[in-house]
Amino acid sequence: MEERDIPGVSDIDLICFPNVKPPINYKGEFENIIAHYWVAETDHVIGFGGFWSFYDEADIITIGVLPDFRRYKVGSRILLAMLNECIKLDRKYITLEVRVSNIAAQKMYEKFGFVNQGIRKGYYLDNREDAVIMSIDDVTQTKELLKEIQKEISNDV
Ligand SMILES: CC(C)(COP(=O)(O)OP(=O)(O)OC[C@H]1O[C@@H](n2cnc3c(N)ncnc32)[C@H](O)[C@@H]1OP(=O)(O)O)[C@@H](O)C(=O)NCCC(=O)NCCS
């Protein structure tokens, strides 16, 4: 993510996560040394994702794609870029939380090798919805899977 992407990313964040109050401050995230963000763009930003990285771990903080661009593998491209960066940075354990009702995102994470590790009760403050905790124990073990997904994405262009 470049500094010039911050307004576009903030706009998509509001569209994808209207119930998160206050919304994430992406100017702060841009300056946060443990944060790593990616954007997908045409002539404007259409999707973004980010993770926080510490020790040998990475926590996927967010990923979102503009509604008109969903189901075109934009989310996959962003997630792939993030997981490859985790491998490069030697961050093996990858974790995230996702709403129990968010089947689309859970399916995407499963496709990338994330496994359901249990539930955080009432994790989301807006409606006290539970979160599913998903993780990959060792992302280096998913290299072949990531290559296959890369191939699938390339064939899709
Ligand atoms: C989740 C999200 C980022 C997926 O982005 P996307 O660009 O549509 O995803 P892709 O096209 O790369 O799809 C990847 C996989 O996700 C799954 N998937 C995506 N959308 C799905 C849907 N509506 N229903 C079921 N599975 C879905 C599929 O397994 C898909 O693989 P396939 O194309 O081989 O079927 C997008 O739906 C989004 O922005 N949602 C709102 C924000 C959000 O919920 N973010 C996640 C927070 S944890």
Answer yes or no: pTM beyond 0.95.
Answer: yes
- 147 C-alpha vs ligand 1 centroid, how far in Å? 19
Residue 132 belongs to a domain with what CATH number?
3.40.630.30
Q: Which of 57, 97, 123, 129 is catalytic?
A: 97
- Does residue 20 surpass a pLDDT of 90? no
Total residues belonging to the chain: 157
Range of the domain at 144: 3-156
Question: What is the mean predicted confidence (pLDDT) over 68-76?
Answer: 97
| Residue 22: pLDDT band with limits 50, 70, 90 | confident
- Count the neighbouring beta carbons within 10 Å of the beta carbon of residue 118: 11
Q: What is the pLDDT of residue 157?
A: 63
- Do 94 and 145 touch, CB atoms closer than 8 A? no
Q: List Cβ neighbours of 73 (8 Å cut-off, separation of 6 or more).
A: 152, 153, 156
Task: Tell me how many domains the chain contains.
Answer: 1
Q: Which residues contact ligand 1 via a Cβ below 6 A?
A: 16, 63-65, 70-76, 98, 102-105, 107-108, 111
Question: What is the mean predicted confidence (pLDDT) over 5-33?
Answer: 95
Element (H, E) at 96: strand 93-99
**What span, in angstroms and rounded, lies between the C-alpha atoms of 128 and 44?**
34
Out of 60, 71, 99, mutate this one to test ligand 1's pocket (max ligand atoms within 8 Å of CB): namely: 71
